[in-house]
Structure 1
Amino acid sequence: MPRSTFHRILSPLLLWRLRHINDRVYLILMSVLVGLAAGLAAVLLKTSVHGAQQLLYSWVPEEKRVFALFLYPIIGVALTVLFTRYFLGGTLSRGIGPVIYNIARQNSIVPRSKMYSQLVTSFLTVTFGGSAGLEAPISVTGSALGSNLARILRVSRRERRLLVGCGAAAGVAAIFNSPIAGVLFAVEVVLSELSAPFFIPLLISSATATVVSKGLYEGQPFVLITNSWPVQAIPFYVMLGLGTALLSVYMLRVYFRADDFFERWPGTFRKVVLGGLALGLLVFLFPPLYGEGYNIVQALLAGKPEQLTDSSIFSVYRDENVWILLLVATASMLLKVFATCITVGAGGNGGMFGSSLFTGALGGFVFARLINLSGLYPISEVHFIVLGMAGTLAGVVHAPLTAIFLIAEITGGYALFVPLMLVTSSSYLISRYFEPYSVYTRKLVQKGVIVHADRDRGLFAQLDPLSMVQTDFMPIHPESTLGDLVTVFRHSTRSIFPVVDAEQQLVGLVTVDTIRDALFDDEHYNTIRVADLMAPPPAIIEPGDSLLDTLGSMDQHGAWALPVVNKGKYVGFILKSAILAGYRRQLLKESE
């Protein structure tokens, strides 16, 4: 349908809405629509990935499956890269970070292509064994649906931001059937804000997506039935919290360094081939790294850890040698982050959310099995598996409430609330001490985007500093005479004059206040040079400096304007009045 025709149909409907439906009811209806769309997208991705994986497995005899595990990830990454190049123009932003950037810097406008690109690329990657989770792609898809539905149905900027959060919440809720965790994920990770007007639409959208998921997709990701926990195990819970914190820091540092490495590594073809081979080798040696790995978590919760060695070169040992089993579990736990980094760095699509749950489950299992083997105190391995999942997720994503309620909802383990709080809080605090930024926010901070900050910082972060640079200040050469300066002054509306050399390097400033007496000294108009009158600027602003830091410099030096230079070359001036006016406009937009 042509866009003009679409708008002719839509405009009367929007006009009817303005007359008959108030804004609050309209926002509730919008949140329901976003929940429905995100829920359907989550069900589509889950069912297609799991069905396609079963089909791929059925094609290969069991005795040859270990070799198929080596080839499948290479194929998946290659297909993802080809789709990205020929259907997306070679650009595929991955993870939740770009959505947070869209909210902070682009008025909550998420590109339309993300409504389908994340689904297709994550399907190709994970179906063929890419070692990453589907949570981030689904959450991004939901955010894109919310943003673009808001644009089509003409809601305000603030409500569009809320609907982006509704989409993210609905995506997480639908994939895990966990509405509360979906809401908390949107609040802690995506929006960094929770107010009464926000909470109800988030909850409605999340609940709607959960209903859709439960109605169309059978089964819970994980099942745990428990009624109590032993008080005597509290020291072991604290130890597990410390262990998951260290594991989280390890995962974050590996992820950050791998991300930097792949960004510097040239050549898409080289990344696909070498990255795919490395990923295939890891999956060949340790099949639990294939795909999301949730089948392994289910096996651990069902008391069948021997499945860790299925279809691997260690399968001959089965569960006869507990140390071989623990070796495979520990290696899979430590290598999962490498597998995920290679999957994404080589060109695939997926997230660290699911990888954190997988790693935490193995960490909890290894910890509990070692304690039981030591004879110190008999503890429930199943309890520590889910507690390990919560602790690692809280440490990697920096979202402790999401981790608590997600594990409680998807495992039915509400009886473990106190242990969950102990493990997640200690893991979150310790990991954040060593790594202040989560897996989603480090790149944003490097770009100057302020995340999880107060309202003023958030508003200043949405302003473009370069658009406020004033270029109508008339520069003058240091060898010019006082007479030349007087001539420039007569034709200028400014009282500050930048002194620049022949290479446009800023060497000083001349202000009317500092040369007031010299202006009336006619006898020395041709003998006094500007270099004799200029003074160094009180501070210099560079393009990468934040507006909040710029205001701080102005207050510190009592200046109403400061020069902006780029690699030493003069660009213009930035005025305090322009910054405050921009802040006021942004505040009015937020209040609309």
Structure 2
Amino acid sequence: MVGPAGRVVRSRRLGLLALALLVGLGAGLGAVLFRLMIENLTRLFTGYTDYAAVPGRAHGYLPGVGGWFVVLAPVLAGAVYGPLVQRFAREARGHGVPEVMLAVARNGGRIRPQVAAVKAAASALCIAGGGSVGREGPIVQIGSALGSSLAQLCRLDERRIRLLVACGAAGGISATFNAPLAGVFFAMELILRQWAADSFGMVVVASVTSSVVARGLLGDVPFLPLPPFHVEHLVEYPLFALLGLVAGLTGVGFSRVLYLVEDLCDWAWRGPEWLRPMVGGVVLGGLLLVLPQMYGVGYPVLGRAVDGGYAIAFLLVLLVGKVIACSLTIGIGGSGGVFAPSLFCGAMVGAAFGEVVQAVAPSAGGSVGAFALVGMGAVFAGAARAPITAVVMLFELTGEYTIILPLMLAIVLATGISHLVSHDTVYTRKLLRRDIDIDEPADARLARQPLGTVMGPTPPSVVADTPLREVAALFASSGAGSLPVLDPDGRYLGVLSAHEIMDAVASGEDTDVGSLCSPAESAHVSEPLSRAVRLLDAGAPAVAVVDDQDTLVGWVGARDVLAAFGGPSVPERPATAAQVR
């Protein structure tokens, strides 16, 4: 039922606009608060606002321990956020965006209110404690939870709940990256997954509001300062195309390794889930001790790579290290996003590619930074398959129109190669592993339901040696159009229809029904609904559902199929007296 506030919003677009503004305001404030939480907790764990800017240094407050504190930081953080997530919001574990996509696609946009608070606390602790994940995924889930909670509080319908969820996601991305356009396209392309003028307008309002709030509180500065880039020679375009293909494959590889490591962690862990981040933190801490550049989100390291500050070999080390560190953080039960890690990997691939080009063909032109920037967008596009978001975001970050053409070329090729080699993305793969395909049409999804979930009760059964007139009386009293026939041991033999009894009675036959029943295929209780549909289409009056012992356990008729597909529930008409006489 739609509540009073919902009726106002439903009748007045101004009301929905006001809610979009509120969601954008909340997402902007949430993004700022989340960022401050990460910075202050990082200072507590390391003595610095961002340890990736000073990798390998001793603790800022405890210089006597040297750099060994990085082994302990993930353990302490995991000891806090592990029980927090397990107790209050298990969906806050992982990278967040798939849960939002699932809520919009299957759950009417409904997200529990506590998810916002738990996700903020858990992700801030995880990142501050060395977790090599991003803050974008969490803020998408936080903003989406705020939008969903507000919509549910106003008791809006599902369409408007999903819209406000998308508004929250757009606001989160907008405030985090200081990129309002990218926030809009992220929400439309990945969360709503459909385009409509009304939805677009509301999402724009939320994204702009969130960006204004963040800029007012944090300043109008890009999240990652980048030098100006220019593309001057046509010969560079084939190189950017080749980079797009390499980056697209890198994005797919990043996704595969992420879930492979998660599977390995699932296989290796036998204890309670709340303890997993703490114990797994020991392994993550060991990796950070060897490669401290992996501590936290890693934007300072990314920025230095774009500036050409690393040699080719070390760029490849950072690429592999980020893939493993991010995967391990998620695998041990950490909470954080994969958006920023994909950008990080893209910068390393692009910068390494640019270094190779300059070493092999220095006259070909193209700066290392330009290749790194294009690599960022292409790897994200290959991993998430969101080309519009990738193009818009990287364009907003640089403001350089001259790079838009090579950027579009590389991102389109990265998306295309990703389509060729992988059915899923870094976001949808998590859902597919739970047998949830949000791209599957609703009818196809319903057709895959097991018959045991849609079958109706069995009608009165008839034993094969029952006299004809007793069966006619049973048809008349039950009102069924068809009845199952069983052998003396209770096994299903076939189906008997009312018109067959009518014809036999009219012709004066006096026999048992075993000779009249039509042998009919049965369906196992675990088979999909689509099998029953095929049998009914082939002319079967109904489909008998049996178990492993061929015992009749259910009955599927046209009415059951219509009910499963959301059609009108039409009661079967009772057999008339003429049909059974």
Give the TM-score taking structure 2 as reference length.
Answer: 0.83
Task: Look up the match of 1:114.
Answer: 115
Aligned residues: 547
The AA in structure 2 aligned to 1:25 is L
* Cα distance in 2 for residues equivalent to 1:411 and 1:505: 73
Q: Return the alpha-carbon distance in structure 2 between the equivalents of residues 160 and 460 of structure 1.
A: 23
1:48-447 → structure 2 map (5 Å cutoff): 48-58=37-47, 59-60=59-60, 64-88=65-89, 92-94=92-94, 95-218=96-219, 219-226=221-228, 228-230=230-232, 231-264=234-267, 265-268=269-272, 271-272=276-277, 275-305=280-310, 322=311, 326-376=312-362, 377-445=364-432, 447=434
Q: Which runs of 5+ in 1 are unaligned?
A: 1-9, 306-321, 587-592
Whether 1:38 aligns to 2:38 is: no
Residues 13-32 of structure 1: pairs in structure 2 closer than 5 A: 17=8, 22-32=11-21
Cα distance change on mapping 1:198 and 1:332 into 2, 3 Å:
same
1:310 paired residue number = none
Query: Is residue 451 from structure 1 mapped to residue 456 from structure 2 by the alignment?
Result: no
From the superposition, tell whether residues 564 and 299 of structure 1 become closer, same or farther in structure 2 (CA, over 3 Å).
farther
Distance 1:327 1:168 in 2: 37
Change (3 A) 1:212 1:11: same
Q: Quick one: structure 1 residues 143 and 464, their matched pair in 2 at CA, closer, same or farther if it must change by over 3 Å?
A: farther
- Structure 1 stretch 79-88 or stretch 209-218: which is displaced more? 79-88
Q: CA deviation at 1:439?
A: 1.6
Identity of aligned pairs, percent? Answer: 29
Deviation at 1:336, TM superposition (A): 2.1
3-state SS, counterpart of residue 491 of structure 1: helix
Q: 1:561 to 1:533 in 2, by over 3 A?
A: closer
1 CA distance for matches of 2:25 and 2:491?
A: 58
SS at match of 2:521: coil
Output the CA distance in 2 between the equivalents of 1:143 and 1:57: 31
Kindly state the Cα deviation for residue 13 of structure 1 after the two structures are TM-superposed: 7.0
* Cα distance between partner residues in 1 of 2:253 and 2:499: 58
Return the letter of the residue paired with 1:224: L
Q: How far 1:516 moved relative to its partner?
A: 5.4
- The superposition leaves residues 355-401 of structure 1 with CA deviations (integer Å, 9 ceiling, x where unpaired) of 11111111111111122222353421111111111001111111111
Following superposition, the deviation at residue 188 of structure 1 comes to: 1.3
Quote the residue 1:537 is aligned against.
Answer: 521
- CA shift in 2, pair 1:47/1:566, >3 Å: farther
Instruction: For 1:217 and 1:551, locate their aligned partners in 2 and report how far apart those are by CA, in whole Å.
Output: 60
Partner SS state of residue 396, structure 1: helix
SS at match of 2:156: coil
Offset of residue 476 of structure 1 = 4.9
CA distance in 1, matches of 2:119, 2:464: 57
Deviates more, 1:422-431 or 1:485-494: 485-494
Please tell me the residue identity of whatever aligns with 1:24: R
Cα distance per residue 1:22-78 (max 9 Å; x no partner) = 521111111000000111111111122023223432244668553222221222223
Flag the 1:584–1:85 CA change in 2: closer, same or farther, 3 A.
closer
SS in 2 for 1:572: strand
Question: Deviation of residue 194 (structure 1)?
Answer: 0.9
Task: Give the direction of change, closer, same or farther, for the CA distance of 1:483–1:122 in structure 2 (3 Å limit).
Answer: farther
Q: Which is worse superposed, 30-39 or 281-290? A: 281-290
SS in 1 for 2:519: coil
Shift of 1:574: 4.2
Which secondary structure does the structure 2 equivalent of 1:84 belong to?
A: helix
Q: Which amino acid aligns with 2:106?
A: R
For 2:511, which of 507, 521, 524 is the aligned residue?
Answer: 524
Of 471, 474, 477, 2:457 maps to 471
Q: Is the CA contact (8 Å cut-off) linking 1:360 and 1:385 kept in structure 2?
A: yes
Aligned equivalents of 1:506 and 1:73: distance in 2?
A: 61
Aligned equivalents of 1:290 and 1:558: distance in 2?
Answer: 65
* Equivalent-residue separation in structure 2 for 1:137 and 1:356 (angstroms): 15
Q: Which amino acid aligns with 2:15?
A: Y
Structure 1 vs Structure 2 CA RMSD: 3.5
How many angstroms apart in 2 are the aligned matches of 1:120 and 1:108? Answer: 22
**For residues 303 and 425 of structure 2, what CA distance do their matches in structure 1 show?**
27
